[in-house]
Amino acid sequence: MKLLSTSEAADKLKVSVQRVHQFIAEGRLPAQKIGRDYVIDETDLRLVADRVTGRPKTTPDTNKRVTARIRASNGASTGKKGKGKK
């Protein structure tokens, strides 16, 4: 069992140290706190190594629904440009 610092874990996962801390806070990456720092078992990195990165892909249909919701919440019409809330 090899223990890694958050910096070493970040290097291996190719993410920032802050992202490693976020994984720990979310409970997705087990860690032990020693003093003010965390140590992570190297074998536990596999728990977050296969994560999906980036924003979710949207379809044109999803984009239309989101745009309509935004317009509705702003009180704007879904018609032509310039016909929004005055």
Asked whether the CA dihedral 41, 51, 36, 12 is positive or negative, the reply is positive
Instruction: For the beta carbon of residue 45, count every other beta carbon within 10 angstroms.
Output: 17
47, two tokens? 């728990």
pTM score: 0.62
- Higher pLDDT pick, 83 / 64: 64
Polymer length of the chain? 86
**Can you name the CATH fold of 3-49?**
Multidrug-efflux Transporter Regulator; Chain: A; Domain 2 (1.10.1660)
**Is the pLDDT at 2 greater than 90, yes or no?**
yes
User: Which pLDDT tens digit goes with each residue over 28-80?
Assistant: 999 999 999 999 999 999 999 888 777 777 666 666 777 777 877 876 555 55
- Higher pLDDT pick, 2 / 75: 2
pLDDT for 35: 96
**Is the pLDDT at 14 greater than 70, yes or no?**
yes
Residue 43 is classified by DSSP as G
In this prediction, residues 7-13 reach a mean pLDDT of 95
